Amino acid sequence: MTFTFNALASRLVLTALLAHAGIGFSKEVDFNRDIRPILSDKCFHCHGPDADNQKSDYRLDSEESAYAGLDGYFGIVPGNLKESEVHWRIRAPKGDIDVMPPEDSNRSLTEAEKDLLDAWMEQGAKYDTHWSFKQPVRPALPKLSPGTQKQVRNPIDHFIFAPLEAEGLKPSPEASLENRIRRAALTLTGLPPTVEMLNDTTGKDPKLSYAAFIDERLQSFDFAERQTLRWLDAARYADTDGYQNDAERKNWPWRDWVIGAFHDNMPFDQFTIEQLAGDMIPDATPKQILASAFNRNHRQNSEGGALADEFFVENVIDRVETTSTVWLGLTMGCARCHDHKYDPLSQREFFQMFAYFNNIGEKGIGKGVSANPTRIYSSPLMTPPPELVEVKKAAEEKLKEAQNNLSKRSLEWAAETAGALNETTGDDWTPAKVTRAAAGNGVTLKQLPDESWLVGKESAGSTTYSLTVDASSEYVSGISIDALPHDSLTSPRKLAPSTNGNFVLSEVRVTINDPSRDAPIAAKIKQAVATYEQDNYPAENAIDGKSNTGWAVYGATPESLPPTVSLFLLFEEPFDLSRKATINLELQHTSGFSSHHIGRFRINLTKSKMPKMGTGTGLPPDVLSAIQTEEGKRSPAQKKAILQHYRKLDTPLAGAENALSIATKALERAGHFEVPVMVMEENAGEPVPAYLLNRGQYDAPDKSEALPRAVPAALFSGDQKNQPGDRLELARWLVSKENPITARVVVNRIWRDHFGTGIVKTVEDFGAQSEYPSHPDLLDWLAVELVESGWNIRALHRLIVTSATFQQSAKMDSTLLSEDPDNRLLARGPRYRMDGFAIRDSALQSAGLLDSRVGGAPVKPYQPEGLWNVVAAGAGTRYQMDKGEKLYRKSLYTYWKRAVNPPRQLIFDSSGREACSVSVSRTNTPLQALVLMNDVTFIEAAKHAGLRALAFAGDDETKLNYLYRTITASEMTTHSGEILKENLKYFRSLYSGSEEKAKAFLSAGEAPLPEELPKTELAAWTAVAHLLLNLDKTITVE
């Protein structure tokens, strides 16, 4: 039987007529399936759960209120249409003032919907708990006819085939083995099978059955990486902070934790608990705390002037919304400003959920890398080379040693310093003659009559001054730099040509050139002190050996700051210099902030061992007074002040720290980084109170009541007194049998990942506005199965891809095309476009370029010129493309900048990773065609795939077959073969006529080609591979 839409429409009209005649439907109306979606979408806006903010007092969201008496009449009288006002209102003619929904509401009911509502009221207007709020119970397997039964491979098929039988449809035949292998490989791993895999499974004498192939794939890192990729969208993982300047963050060790968890097949309940509350598990391991970074992947605002309270609230709300979407499938964010319009979620309950997530002592603003709580992690997947680890361990030991005697050395220093202080006299610093001054990057320097130096107006991203200072016949123990204001420099600071007159001095290098010595000596600086330093930009930054830190001199009220600032540098050992000695002073400005270089300066030298530095001795007041207090009489605070100050001066400690830093860098060069990860760390003691925020505004808390933590009552079946008391209990409740939703939500997403559409199409919403499940019993069966399997995710994937349903052919006939174009009944196998990640990775694999390393810091592959520069500010403007193998790592590892997403992913519908996203969009656009046609990634992939074909033994036809199979993982048809042969012929003749063209075409990409190559022949094969990489079937799961 086939219905066209017209036939269907007339059938519906007929049904409606029957309903009006009082004959009713042949089958009972199901409230959850048929009625709630209508009430929710068309009525609840004014007659729903948000009682305080709707026009009407009459509510349709529960039995009591729907049946309640109104002023002498009733909204609904069960079983009695004539007495039910709702019936008359929905049937009122257009234009009637009583018609419901009102005409200005932008909502209206179709005739079919009115019929359903009437039938429901006639049948008793029975209400029912929303389906997803009821505990799933494992349903019995539906019976099938013997013919269909033969096609069954596992229980899933019963639930899919039974409705097909009822509709008079048949499951499609099984797809070819090759086709099934490719489909399963793509949905499990995001990669098609390699030619070797195809030979192993579909060759004449296969080594692996379909099931064995599936098991092999499930055990692979490819599988773990693919599942992680899905999870990253849900977890809104990115490599930058998201707001304004979009600073880089380093939460990627968490990403590697996820890969490890999927590879180990961690049970989903444990996966949940560790990510939501790993920090609160008793005796939590560092790995469990790393897992909790899940809820720190939110965006983080460090825009100048941003208000901490406002963004603290946004961060916490993000956690509530993400957690509720990922685990509960509820759009809880709708209850931020008022009670939920459709679901039984009150605004109060929203902020009760908020109360689980607001207690980690975060500040709300600031860059992610320092947005405490943070912890230092490296990738949990990678084992660093043992010899480098040994070196590092030894350095750590040395450091411990140095720290051991630190206290003793600090006391010696204090005594010595106290003595020196008593001896110090006189004018300590004398201006030095700068005999030569030059600056890099086009910046000019000129000397003013007062002998200070002034920069020109040239702007520069970075510049280094190189100064030669006359130091003949001097005893020199230190050098200082005075930064002086000048009217040609920028207000308010007037100390630099930058936008606000501020500078950042990144690093200072001092070299002593004394002709009486063999070679120039790099002066070791033991102390850097400034007369003024900006928060987070202390003077020590100028001597820390790091080019990305520095000393700067700005502040909240720039006009009240000292107009002149000085930096004093004391040498570890004074120098006794001969005649003609000079000092070379290098001032590096490499912060990345434009033109933040010192605008006008003067250099001074000192002979004093303890010179005055600025207003005093260079010692902070508390340290000074501590030193001047007799040793036995020092308070604990004074002892601490001395120790902390001395730490920075101690040579053994500095040496040990330096050795450790070298050992660390060696590890980093080998790919092993230790980076700060934003994690959750629950505060001890009384939790921070949570209040209802009026209209959801951060500055409008209702302080009349601190809200107790609780999950929404509609979901909580236990005694309300036993509500989860903290985040850990919340996590445990989410994966407990008491929670009806989570297993369904998880199963549904995994189903979607294979079939392209969920059993519940609205994967992000299981509330009243959700779409009713296409196969509700199957959803429940799978949910129960998942829980009873011990939340075994791998087993669930195996179950799905080994079902007959999944293995059907994806071919459509006209019946299926007209009756079920979206394949919701699953009378055929899935067919949908791959995502951008899989498309790129598959092309790289076909080319033999894909780098298979797992985990580590993100990478920057090819990207069109200027993408970041056009929109970004400051340091964010540089995209430093990687080199070598990093260009070919899986797209999972591509650096994710929130302000400018990787373009080829964006064009293929990726989520922006700004906020949690679990739904998938698939468009079909010309911009996608342009990517596959012209992106260097795909041209280079074609070249290397072509190279493989060229190297494959055999004639053109054999090579073509091989190339076709490499790229499409299927056999070439005769017709396709003919087209491709002609294509090859065309390009062969084109390129043999112009070697120039061939060379140009082969110039794409960085991967080297073998030296001796028939260039024109390779160009022709590249063109054929390029054509194949653009095929619809190549980029489609089918």
Partner 1 sequence: MNPILQSRLVQNRRHFFGNSAKSIGAAALSSLLGKESLAKEGATASGDALNETESRFHHPVKAKRIIYLFQSGAPSQQDLFDHKPLLQKHFGEDMRDHFDMTQRVTGMTAGQQTFPLAGTKFAFSKHGESGTEMSELLPHIGGISDDICLIRSMYTEAINHDPAITFFQTGHQLAGRPSMGSWLSYGLGSANKNLPEFVAMVSRGTGRPNCQPLYDRLWGSGFLPSQYSGVKFMSVGDPVLYLNNPAGFDASSRRRMLDDLEKLNQEHLDSFRDPEIKTRIEQYEMAYRMQTSVPELTDFSDEPKHILEMYGPDVETRGTYAYNCLLARRMAERDVRFIQLYHMGWDQHFTLPKQLSGQCKDTDRASAALIKDLKQRGMLDDTLVVWGGEFGRTSYCQGKLTKDNYGRDHHPRCFSLWMAGGGVKPGITYGATDDFSYNITENPVHVHDLHATMLHQMGIDHEKLTYFFQGRHYRLTDVHGHIVKDILGS
List binders of partner 1 among 47-106 (CB under 8 A). 106
Based on the shown chain and the rule CB under 8 A, indicate whether residue 875 belongs to the binding site for partner 1: no
Q: Nearest distance from residue 987's CB to partner 1, in Å?
A: 7
Based on the shown chain and the rule CB under 8 A, indicate whether residue 927 belongs to the binding site for partner 1: yes
To which residue do tokens 């909790």 refer?
292
Which of 334, 369, 569, 678 binds partner 1 (CB under 8 A)? It is 334
Of 852 and 994, which CB lies nearer to partner 1 in the complex structure? Answer: 994
Of 82 and 975, which CB lies nearer to partner 1 in the complex structure? Answer: 975
Closest of 402, 776, 356, 432 to residue 585, by C-alpha: 432
Of 501 and 858, which CB lies nearer to partner 1 in the complex structure? Answer: 501
Of 11 and 669, which CB lies nearer to partner 1 in the complex structure? Answer: 11
Which of 193, 354, 1026, 1037 binds partner 1 (CB under 8 A)? It is 1026
Q: Which 901-920 positions form the footprint of partner 1 (CB under 8 A)?
A: 901, 903, 906-909, 912, 914-915
Per CB under 8 A, the segment of 219-227, 247-255, 295-303, 608-616 that binds partner 1 is 295-303
Q: Nearest distance from residue 643's CB to partner 1, in Å?
A: 33
Q: Nearest distance from residue 383's CB to partner 1, in Å?
A: 38
Q: Which 809-838 positions form the footprint of partner 1 (CB under 8 A)?
A: 810-814, 817, 820-822, 824, 831-833
Based on the shown chain and the rule CB under 8 A, indicate whether residue 723 belongs to the binding site for partner 1: no
Question: Residues near 856 by Cβ (< 8 Å), separated by ≥ 6?
Answer: 252, 256, 379, 381, 382, 671, 673, 893
Q: Which 509-538 positions form the footprint of partner 1 (CB under 8 A)?
A: none
Q: Which 989-1008 positions form the footprint of partner 1 (CB under 8 A)?
A: 990, 996-1004
- Locate 565 and state its tokens: 């600032």
Which of 540, 622, 771, 971 binds partner 1 (CB under 8 A)? It is 771
CA 832 – CA 734 distance, rounded (Å): 32
Which of 498, 541, 664, 792 binds partner 1 (CB under 8 A)? It is 498
Q: Which 928-967 positions form the footprint of partner 1 (CB under 8 A)?
A: 928-931, 933-936, 939
Q: Nearest distance from residue 950's CB to partner 1, in Å?
A: 17
Q: Which 475-494 positions form the footprint of partner 1 (CB under 8 A)?
A: 490-492
Based on the shown chain and the rule CB under 8 A, indicate whether residue 342 belongs to the binding site for partner 1: yes
Of 450 and 559, which CB lies nearer to partner 1 in the complex structure? Answer: 559
Which of 31, 32, 34, 532 binds partner 1 (CB under 8 A)? It is 34
Which of 367, 409, 732, 1033 binds partner 1 (CB under 8 A)? It is 1033
Of 50 and 785, which CB lies nearer to partner 1 in the complex structure? Answer: 50
Per CB under 8 A, the segment of 91-99, 239-247, 400-408, 528-536 that binds partner 1 is 239-247
Q: Nearest distance from residue 723's CB to partner 1, in Å?
A: 25
Q: Nearest distance from residue 456's CB to partner 1, in Å?
A: 17
Per CB under 8 A, the segment of 218-226, 263-271, 475-483, 921-929 that binds partner 1 is 921-929
Residues 484/602, Cβ–Cβ less than 8 Å: yes
To which residue do tokens 């003619």 refer?
93
Per CB under 8 A, the segment of 154-162, 259-267, 894-902, 955-963 that binds partner 1 is 894-902
CA 149 – CA 166 distance, rounded (Å): 14
CA 977 – CA 985 distance, rounded (Å): 12
DSSP-assigned letters across all residues of 564-594? SEEEEEEEEEEEE--TT-EEEEEEEE-SSST
Based on the shown chain and the rule CB under 8 A, indicate whether residue 872 belongs to the binding site for partner 1: yes
CA 395 – CA 387 distance, rounded (Å): 13
CA 977 – CA 181 distance, rounded (Å): 22
Based on the shown chain and the rule CB under 8 A, indicate whether residue 304 belongs to the binding site for partner 1: yes
Q: Which 246-275 positions form the footprint of partner 1 (CB under 8 A)?
A: 246
CA 707 – CA 953 distance, rounded (Å): 74
Residues 402/649, Cβ–Cβ less than 8 Å: no
Please state the φ and ψ torsions of residue 693, each to the nearest 5 degrees. -100, 115
Q: Does residue 449 have a cis peptide bond before it, meaning omega lies within 30 degrees of 0? A: no
Sign, CA torsion 671/674/675/677: positive
In angstroms and rounded to an integer, the radius of gyration of the C-alpha atoms of the chain is 36
Which of 128, 165, 167, 540 binds partner 1 (CB under 8 A)? It is 167
CA 261 – CA 392 distance, rounded (Å): 28
CA 277 – CA 371 distance, rounded (Å): 18
Q: Nearest distance from residue 20's CB to partner 1, in Å?
A: 14
CA 1029 – CA 1015 distance, rounded (Å): 20
CA of 980: how far to CAs of 341, 846, 972, in Å? 58, 18, 10
Site map for partner 1, 644-683, x if CB under 8 A? ----------------------------------------
Of 637 and 979, which CB lies nearer to partner 1 in the complex structure? Answer: 979
How many residues make contact with partner 1 (CB under 8 A)? 152
Based on the shown chain and the rule CB under 8 A, indicate whether residue 1023 belongs to the binding site for partner 1: yes
Strand 525-530 and strand 565-576: pairing? Answer: antiparallel
Instruction: Note the helical H segments in 405-530.
Output: 406-423
Q: Nearest distance from residue 993's CB to partner 1, in Å?
A: 12
Per CB under 8 A, the segment of 505-513, 603-611, 688-696, 871-879 that binds partner 1 is 871-879
Of 12 and 177, which CB lies nearer to partner 1 in the complex structure? Answer: 12
Instruction: Note the helical H segments in 292-441.
Output: 308-323, 347-354, 386-404, 406-423
CA 341 to centroid of chain Cα atoms = 30
CA 547 – CA 525 distance, rounded (Å): 16
CA 51 – CA 127 distance, rounded (Å): 19
Q: Supply angle C-alpha 901, 905, 908, rounded to 5.
A: 130
Based on the shown chain and the rule CB under 8 A, indicate whether residue 871 belongs to the binding site for partner 1: yes
Per CB under 8 A, the segment of 92-100, 214-222, 840-848, 893-901 that binds partner 1 is 893-901
Closest of 231, 941, 386, 296 to residue 680, by C-alpha: 296
Please state the φ and ψ torsions of residue 793, each to the nearest 5 degrees. -70, -40
Of 530 and 942, which CB lies nearer to partner 1 in the complex structure? Answer: 942
Q: Which 549-578 positions form the footprint of partner 1 (CB under 8 A)?
A: 556-560
Based on the shown chain and the rule CB under 8 A, indicate whether residue 420 belongs to the binding site for partner 1: no
Residues 461/592, Cβ–Cβ less than 8 Å: yes
Please state the φ and ψ torsions of residue 925, each to the nearest 5 degrees. -130, 160
- Most distant CA pair in the chain: distance in Å? 117
CA 75 – CA 88 distance, rounded (Å): 10
Q: Nearest distance from residue 897's CB to partner 1, in Å?
A: 9
Per CB under 8 A, the segment of 63-71, 495-503, 508-516, 542-550 that binds partner 1 is 495-503
Q: Nearest distance from residue 931's CB to partner 1, in Å?
A: 5
- Locate 574 and state its tokens: 């004074």
Residues 553/589, Cβ–Cβ less than 8 Å: no
Based on the shown chain and the rule CB under 8 A, indicate whether residue 765 belongs to the binding site for partner 1: yes
The beta-carbon contacts of 733-738 under 8 Å, at least 24 apart in sequence, are 734/272, 734/276, 734/327, 734/328, 735/268, 735/269, 735/272, 735/273, 735/791, 737/135, 737/787
CA of 531: how far to CAs of 484, 552, 618, 664, in Å? 12, 11, 8, 33
Of 84 and 937, which CB lies nearer to partner 1 in the complex structure? Answer: 937
Q: Which 576-605 positions form the footprint of partner 1 (CB under 8 A)?
A: 593-595
Based on the shown chain and the rule CB under 8 A, indicate whether residue 1 belongs to the binding site for partner 1: yes
Q: Which 442-471 positions form the footprint of partner 1 (CB under 8 A)?
A: 459
Q: Nearest distance from residue 1000's CB to partner 1, in Å?
A: 3
Of 446 and 975, which CB lies nearer to partner 1 in the complex structure? Answer: 975
Of 266 and 1020, which CB lies nearer to partner 1 in the complex structure? Answer: 1020
